[in-house]
């Protein structure tokens, strides 16, 4: 299979974006002036990480990409010594992130790494539950620290307490230091993110691998089903909405809660009622931490949380109140899911002929079940809770920058790299201290206007799914399970990319996420904000879904996503609700339009559009 | 020499005392009945008794076969036709075969046997509420399907036979099919004694199949035991069994009964009944139906469920023939015509997918070292 040379792609600069490279760290560039690096880049296989980045990266948002560039790679290559693979290398073209696993080429070196890996990874697998408990403590402490970070406003005259406390430091210095703290906490949180994740995925990947060897035709979703139904906290935010819906009915304030889709109006109405005040107390209890759930994946500054957008959970509560009023159960059918999981597992196990294969099956299943809760739960702690708080702290920093005229709008801050922000803060505090105007007031606003134009052009650019030279074997566990990189998936994506007129496409392929067949009207929701438009029984078509989308699943008949594998949120939730899902289609939201009649086959991954 | 009513109505205990019967209902047979009614009929009996929906019918037993041959007095004829025959002389084989077969087919049944068969056929027609009931007449060899001596399909099968006289003559044709040139050569090569030869003939209500085909409760291509594979075409299953058409192909998950893969082929030919001559014949599938799925999803699920039950009953992967009857309502219209243990994959010992069944860690490490081929 042939893919374009990365440097050729990069050389075709989109007119008007010349110089875009300064928006990203220099080591992310494909280079032409360093022959050794240039050759390495040409010989390497790079694939577009559409799973995490459906859109080009804003300069500030690159922080999480750098964070996992470091964290995933170090745990693979320096801590656990995964034998055949080092880390995952990163590049950016036109704002889109390309990644590539780096193999260990020398067979002797691979051999030397084996005992280290056995010892180190073995330690984690063996002590998984105890270490995971420690992880939770570390992670919660990190979030508390983040919440405690204060972003000071700079006063014309420092407060008297600076003198009486003999503080010996100014708030200007605190601004610089606390910004650093903020960034460092973010990087630290991502260190923890990968402490267990590589090993978690490895256990899952090789359980999948083993079962597929025994049963070549087994759908991956059946394998994930065998480890499903374990209580994971990802469901908790949705459970809180159900609790609040029940409470509203109980207290008789359900009409006040549902009379408007605007939270501000509902809140005013509730405050006037004694029972409403009581309900609001329950709401406040639920909000921390459960409403720190991002309305997107949490990876981007524009992914706001429920706490930021109360209309979203309100719509979910209203949906559940409606169901309760109709006498429809809103309980998650956990017992049924567990019974079905156990039946499936037992039946597959019963078909294994050899005793030693059955033993291996038990071992690997046990291991996968041990790691599964972490693989799910880390998302809530890192991408949702930590990130939601983090983005808002960054908005406080941006407010200071706006106050000093370095940026015009708070949301402009995301167009700067985090080191550029640090420089701008130095500019601000030195100018503040000295009593002069920051130089940045004349440079940054212009640069930001230009960068906004560049981002717009990047969004219109279509990133090729893969570039460089394809390898014969992939050994990195994430690459296999998360991105599902196979020749087939790449060819499928490429085929759709090559179609000139998307209006003629009648068939789309994705991963079979949850079994069943459903025909119905499509509803394309690009963000969770559009979920309110969904009508009962429609088929949701979304870029991806996250736990904050949970209430949508109470309404829809099936779900289709652009990105994600059989372990993605949409696939897991649909399996729980017993409705079809096709995930990782690549381009469904671009091809399917709201109102189209479509057929979703969640057992084969096929989508048919009736034109 | 028993009377008609004796042969049909006797209790099991009486039968045991009176020696083997000449004819026998399928439901009175079971797995252990192979010496009496051959592999095919005994397995139909086994299925009926397991609660599987099988079209009813009866068998001329091996005892009936022996009685017929003995009364026919063909021993001299047989001996002289087969004497000194060379298993590799095709011309001589065919000549001997033609001589023996016409001799057998020309020989009437003894009267009491004719009455027995005719009475069974009449009762079957009454049971099915169809006058001149169309039946399939199939040989059911005792040596058939036995490991290492599989001459399955070497004997003839006759479809859509109606009326006593036609039934009788086709039962004889089935018996004579023991003496095809190929069967004779096979026995000479293996040194089977002609004297020990025996066969049974099944007479079974013909499913008026809208769609029919085969089903494996194991993936025939990769030995995957977690799937059921179904091939189907319109009309009788013969077009699928013989490989005359590329059938529709379905892969069903055995555990959840989801259809996980389907291929709808262009089916140009199917076997069906000519309404004028009342015989089974090949006909072209109308063009507009050629690419239509020949088995609907609900039927696929029900069939797969039946396959799963049959596998459970036998305790091993099965090779099954089935049909969907067009005269009966959904929910009661799918019939199993034949079921036998699958032989290809079952003969191979599945290679262990791992070492001695080590720890999860060992598997993960060896898996990582092997990597995953991109293709």
> Does B27 have pLDDT greater than 60?
yes
A517 with A599: CB under 8 angstroms?
A: yes
Average pLDDT over residues A203-217: 87
B199 with B142: CB under 8 angstroms?
A: yes
> Does A93 have pLDDT greater than 90?
yes
> Does B165 have pLDDT greater than 80?
yes
If one counts every other C-beta atom within 10 angstroms of the C-beta of residue A285, the result is 12
Element (H, E) at B45: helix B34-49
Compute the CA torsion angle A402, A407, A410, A413 (nearest 10 deg): -130
> Does A2 have pLDDT greater than 80?
no
In the three-class reduction of DSSP (H, G, I as helix; E, B as strand; rest coil), residue A519 is classed as strand
CA distance B354 to B350: 11
Residues 564-593 of A with CB under 8 A from B: none
In this complex, which of A114, A472, A604 lies closest to B374 when CB atoms are compared? Answer: A472
C-alpha A434 chain-centroid distance:
43
Summary mean pLDDT of chain A: 89
B219 touches A at CB < 8 Å: yes
For B256, the closest chain A residue by CA position comes to A344
Number of helices (H), then strands (E), belonging to chain B: the values are 13, 14
Residues of A with Cβ-Cβ distance to B225 under 8 angstroms: 215, 351, 353
In this complex, which of A218, A367, A471 lies closest to B360 when CB atoms are compared? Answer: A367
CA distance A424 to A440: 7
- CB contact under 8 Å between A603 and B254, yes or no, is no
- CB contact under 8 Å between A473 and B356, yes or no, is no
The pLDDT, as a whole number, for residue B153 is: 44
Average pLDDT over residues A380-405: 97
* A539-542 vs A517-524, strand pairing mode: parallel
Residues 272-331 of B with CB under 8 A from A: 297
> Does A188 have pLDDT greater than 70?
yes
Element (H, E) at A529: none
Structure tokens, A206: 């090789």
What pLDDT band is residue A477 in, cutting at 50, 70 and 90?
Answer: low
In the three-class reduction of DSSP (H, G, I as helix; E, B as strand; rest coil), residue A581 is classed as strand
B251 touches A at CB < 8 Å: yes
> Does A224 have pLDDT greater than 70?
yes
What pLDDT band is residue A240 in, cutting at 50, 70 and 90?
Answer: very high
State what percent of residues in chain B have pLDDT above 90. Answer: 47
Mutation for testing the B interface, residue in A85, A109, A119, A217 having most B CBs under 10 Å: A217
Q: How far is CA B305 from CA B53, B217, B228, in A?
A: 12, 10, 9
A58 with A300: CB under 8 angstroms?
A: yes
CA distance B343 to chain A (A): 16
CA distance B153 to B145: 10
In the three-class reduction of DSSP (H, G, I as helix; E, B as strand; rest coil), residue A513 is classed as strand
The pLDDT, as a whole number, for residue A424 is: 98
CA distance A197 to A192: 9
In this complex, which of B352, B364, B375 lies closest to A354 when CB atoms are compared? Answer: B352
In this complex, which of B224, B253, B375 lies closest to A216 when CB atoms are compared? Answer: B224
B226 with A217: CB under 8 angstroms?
A: yes
Q: What is the 3-state secondary structure (H, E, C) of A303-366?
A: CCECCCCCHHHHHHHHHHHHHHHCCCCCCCCHHHHHHHHHHHHHHHHHHCCCHHHHHHHHHHHH
> Does A491 have pLDDT greater than 50?
yes
Of the listed ranges A273-287, A510-524, B67-81, B148-162, the least confidently predicted one is: B148-162
> Does B57 have pLDDT greater than 90?
yes
Angle between helices A107-126 and A128-148 (to 10 degrees): 80
Q: How far is CA B110 from CA B60, B69, B117, in A?
A: 13, 10, 11
List, as own/partner pairs, every contact residues A174-178 make where C-beta atoms lie below 8 angstroms and the sequence separation is at least 24, other chains included.
A174/A150, A175/A151, A175/A400, A175/A425, A175/A428, A175/A429, A176/A422, A176/A425, A176/A426, A176/A429, A178/A149, A178/A150, A178/A151, A178/A152
- CB contact under 8 Å between B374 and A473, yes or no, is yes
- CB contact under 8 Å between A203 and B255, yes or no, is no
In degrees rounded to 5, what are phi and psi of residue B85? -70, 135
B374 touches A at CB < 8 Å: yes
Q: How far is CA A287 from CA A240, A305, A324, in A?
A: 9, 11, 22
Average pLDDT over residues B162-179: 92
In the three-class reduction of DSSP (H, G, I as helix; E, B as strand; rest coil), residue B351 is classed as coil
Average pLDDT over residues A247-273: 94
pLDDT, tens only, B190-215: 777 777 788 899 999 998 899 999 99
- Cross-strand partners of B334: B324
What pLDDT band is residue B145 in, cutting at 50, 70 and 90?
Answer: very low
> Does B8 have pLDDT greater than 60?
no
pLDDT, tens only, A396-455: 999 999 999 999 999 999 999 999 999 999 999 999 999 999 999 999 999 999 999 999
Q: What is the ipTM of this complex?
A: 0.76
- Residues near A132 by Cβ (< 8 Å), separated by ≥ 6? A196, A373, A374
Q: How many alpha carbons fall within 13 Å on the CB side of residue B232?
A: 27
> Does B100 have pLDDT greater than 70?
yes
- CB contact under 8 Å between A356 and B258, yes or no, is no
CA distance A462 to chain B (A): 24
Structure tokens, A592: 């399917």
A599 touches B at CB < 8 Å: no
Helices of type H across A352-486: 355-379, 387-403, 418-434, 440-460, 477-481
Structure tokens, B313: 């009953």
More confident residue, B166 or A565: B166
More confident residue, A63 or B371: A63
CA distance A236 to B357: 38
A136 with A143: CB under 8 angstroms?
A: no
More confident residue, B252 or B152: B252
Residues present in chain B in total? 375
Q: Is the dihedral of CA A542, A543, A544, A548 positive or negative?
A: negative
The pLDDT, as a whole number, for residue A568 is: 73
Helices of type H across A128-273: 128-148, 160-164, 171-214, 220-226, 236-251, 254-258, 263-271
User: In chain A, what are the domains?
Assistant: 6-119+459-477 (no CATH), 127-216+367-445 (no CATH), 502-610 (3.50.30.10)
More confident residue, A301 or A335: A301
- Opening angle at CA B256, ends B255 and B259, nearest 5: 110
State what percent of residues in chain A have pLDDT above 70. Answer: 94
The pLDDT, as a whole number, for residue A476 is: 60
A114 touches B at CB < 8 Å: yes
Closest CA to A602 of A573, A568, A575, A567: A575
A357 touches B at CB < 8 Å: yes
Bond preceding residue A103 cis, omega within 30 of 0: no
Mutation for testing the A interface, residue in B255, B309, B355 having most A CBs under 10 Å: B255
CA distance B171 to B155: 12
pLDDT, tens only, A559-601: 998 877 666 778 878 877 778 999 878 778 888 999 999 999 9
If one counts every other C-beta atom within 10 angstroms of the C-beta of residue A472, the result is 8
Closest CA to B199 of B29, B39, B8: B39
The pLDDT, as a whole number, for residue B4 is: 46
Helices of type H across A440-544: 440-460, 477-481, 487-498
More confident residue, A465 or A516: A516
More confident residue, A415 or B356: A415
* A558-561 vs A581-583, strand pairing mode: parallel
3-state helix, strand, coil split of chain A in percent (to 5) is 60, 10, 30
The pLDDT, as a whole number, for residue B151 is: 47
Closest CA to A454 of A95, A96, A98, A53: A95
- Residues near A234 by Cβ (< 8 Å), separated by ≥ 6? A376, A377, A379, A380, A547, A569
The pLDDT, as a whole number, for residue A519 is: 93
More confident residue, A469 or A449: A449
B366 touches A at CB < 8 Å: no
> Does A153 have pLDDT greater than 60?
yes
The pLDDT, as a whole number, for residue A225 is: 83
Residues of B with Cβ-Cβ distance to A366 under 8 angstroms: 360
In this complex, which of B260, B357, B372 lies closest to A360 when CB atoms are compared? Answer: B357
Structure tokens, B344: 């290809």
pLDDT, tens only, A23-79: 999 999 999 999 999 999 999 989 888 778 878 999 999 999 999 999 999 999 999
The pLDDT, as a whole number, for residue A485 is: 56
Classify residue B137 by its DSSP letter: E
A49 with A98: CB under 8 angstroms?
A: yes
What pLDDT band is residue A500 in, cutting at 50, 70 and 90?
Answer: low
User: In chain B, what are the domains?
Assistant: 4-205 (3.30.1490.20), 209-347 (3.30.470.20)
Closest CA to A200 of A232, A244, A243: A232
For A488, the closest chain B residue by CA position comes to B375
Average pLDDT over residues B129-140: 90
- CB contact under 8 Å between B357 and A470, yes or no, is no
For A105, the closest chain B residue by CA position comes to B369
> Does A507 have pLDDT greater than 80?
yes
Structure tokens, A1: 């299979």
- Opening angle at CA A78, ends A72 and A84, nearest 5: 80
Residues present in chain A in total? 611
pLDDT, tens only, A310-335: 998 998 899 899 999 999 888 877 78
Structure tokens, B360: 């999860």
Q: How many alpha carbons fall within 13 Å on the CB side of residue B292?
A: 11
> Does B338 have pLDDT greater than 80?
yes
The pLDDT, as a whole number, for residue A511 is: 80
């Amino acid at each position: 299979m042939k893919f374009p040379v990365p440097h050729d792609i990069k050389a075709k600069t989109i007119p008007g974006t010349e110089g875009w490279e300064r928006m990203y760290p220099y080591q992310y560039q494909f280079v032409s002036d360093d022959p050794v690096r240039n050759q390495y880049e040409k010989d390497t296989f790079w694939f577009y990480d559409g799973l995490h980045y459906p859109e080009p990266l804003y300069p500030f948002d690159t922080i999480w990409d750098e964070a996992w560039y470091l964290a995933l790679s170090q745990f693979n290559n320096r801590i656990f010594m995964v034998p055949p693979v080092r880390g995952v290398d990163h590049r950016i073209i036109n704002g889109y992130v390309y990644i590539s696993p780096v193999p260990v080429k020398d067979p002797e070196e691979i051999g030397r790494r084996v005992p280290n890996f056995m010892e180190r990874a073995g330690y984690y697998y063996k002590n998984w539950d105890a270490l995971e408990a420690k992880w939770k403590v570390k992670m919660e402490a990190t979030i508390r620290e983040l919440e405690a970070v204060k972003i000071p406003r700079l006063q014309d005259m420092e407060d008297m307490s600076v003198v009486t406390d003999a503080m010996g430091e100014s708030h200007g210095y605190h601004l610089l230091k606390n910004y650093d703290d903020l960034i460092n906490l973010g990087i630290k949180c991502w260190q923890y993110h990968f402490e267990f994740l590589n090993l978690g995925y490895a256990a899952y990947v090789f359980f999948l691998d083993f079962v597929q060897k025994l049963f070549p035709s087994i759908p991956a979703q059946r394998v994930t089903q065998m480890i499903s139904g374990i209580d994971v906290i990802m469901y908790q935010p949705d459970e809180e909405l159900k609790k609040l819906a029940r409470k509203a009915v109980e207290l008789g304030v359900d009409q006040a809660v549902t009379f408007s889709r605007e939270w501000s109006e509902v809140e005013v109405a509730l405050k006037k009622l004694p029972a409403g005040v009581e309900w609001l107390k329950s709401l406040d209890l639920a909000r921390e931490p459960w409403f720190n759930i991002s309305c997107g994946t949490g990876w981007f500054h524009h992914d706001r949380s429920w706490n930021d957008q109360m209309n979203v959970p309100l719509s979910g509560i209203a949906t559940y109140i409606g169901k309760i009023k109709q006498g429809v159960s809103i309980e998650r059918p956990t017992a049924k899911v567990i019974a079905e999981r156990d039946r499936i597992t037992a039946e597959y196990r019963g078909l294994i002929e050899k005793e030693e294969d059955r033993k291996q099956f038990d071992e690997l299943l046990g291991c996968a079940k041990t790691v599964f809760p972490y693989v799910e739960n880390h998302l809530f702690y890192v991408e949702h809770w930590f990130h939601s708080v983090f983005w808002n702290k960054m908005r406080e920093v941006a407010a200071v920058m706006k106050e000093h005229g370095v940026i015009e709008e708070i949301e402009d801050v995301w167009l700067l790299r985090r080191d550029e922000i640090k420089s701008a803060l130095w500019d601000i505090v030195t100018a503040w201290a000295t009593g002069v105007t920051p130089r940045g007031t004349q440079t940054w606003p212009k640069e930001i206007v230009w960068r906004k134009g560049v981002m717009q052009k990047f969004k219109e650019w279509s990133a090729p799914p893969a570039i460089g030279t394809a390898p014969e074997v992939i050994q990195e566990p994430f690459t296999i399970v998360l991105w599902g990189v196979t020749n087939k998936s790449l060819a499928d994506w490429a085929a759709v990319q090559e179609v000139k007129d998307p209006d003629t496409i009648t068939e789309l392929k994705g991963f079979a996420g949850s079994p069943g067949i459903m025909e119905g009207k499509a509803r394309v929701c690009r963000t969770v904000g559009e979920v309110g438009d969904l009508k009962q029984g429609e088929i949701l078509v979304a870029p991806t879904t996250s736990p904050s989308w949970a209430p949508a699943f109470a309404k829809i008949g099936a779900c289709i996503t652009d990105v994600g594998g059989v372990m993605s949120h949409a696939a897991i939730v649909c399996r729980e609700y017993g409705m079809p899902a096709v995930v990782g289609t690549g381009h469904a939201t671009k091809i399917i339009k709201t109102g189209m009649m479509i057929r979703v086959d969640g057992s084969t991954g096929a989508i048919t559009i009736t034109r | 020499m028993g009377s008609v009513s004796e042969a049909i109505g006797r209790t099991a205990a009486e039968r045991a005392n009176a020696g083997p019967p000449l004819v026998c209902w399928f439901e009175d047979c079971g797995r252990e009945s192979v010496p009496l009614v051959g592999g095919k009929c005994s397995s139909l009996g086994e299925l009926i008794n397991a609660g599987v929906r099988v079209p009813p019918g009866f068998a001329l037993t091996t005892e009936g076969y022996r009685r017929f041959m003995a009364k026919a007095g063909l021993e001299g004829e047989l001996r002289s036709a087969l004497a000194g025959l060379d298993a590799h002389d095709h011309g001589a084989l065919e000549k001997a075969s033609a001589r023996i077969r016409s001799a057998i087919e020309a020989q009437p049944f003894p009267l009491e046997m004719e009455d027995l068969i005719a009475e069974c056929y009449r009762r079957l027609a009454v049971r099915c509420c169809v006058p001149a009931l169309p039946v399939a007449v199939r040989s059911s060899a005792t040596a058939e399907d036995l490991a290492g001596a599989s001459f399955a399909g070497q004997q003839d099968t006759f479809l859509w036979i109606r009326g006593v006289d036609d039934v009788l003559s086709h039962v004889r044709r089935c018996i004579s099919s023991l003496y095809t040139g190929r069967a004779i050569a096979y026995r000479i090569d293996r040194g089977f004694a002609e004297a020990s030869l025996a066969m049974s003939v099944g007479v079974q209500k013909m499913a008026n199949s809208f769609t029919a085909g085969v089903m494996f409760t194991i993936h025939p291509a990769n030995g995957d035991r977690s799937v059921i594979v179904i091939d189907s075409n319109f009309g009788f299953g013969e077009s699928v069994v013989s490989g005359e058409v590329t059938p529709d192909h379905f892969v069903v998950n055995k555990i959840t009964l989801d259809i996980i893969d389907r291929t709808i082929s262009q089916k140009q030919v199917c076997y069906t009944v000519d309404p004028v001559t009342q015989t089974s014949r090949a006909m072209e599938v109308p063009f507009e139906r050629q690419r239509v799925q020949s088995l609907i999803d609900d039927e696929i699920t029900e069939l797969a469920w039946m396959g799963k039950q049959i596998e459970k009953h036998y305790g091993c992967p099965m090779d099954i023939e089935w049909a969907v009857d067009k005269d009966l309502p959904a929910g009661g219209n799918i019939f199993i015509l034949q079921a036998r243990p699958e032989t290809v994959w079952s003969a191979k010992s599945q290679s262990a997918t791992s070492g001695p069944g080590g720890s999860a860690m060992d598997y993960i490490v060896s898996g990582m070292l092997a990597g995953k081929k991109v293709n």
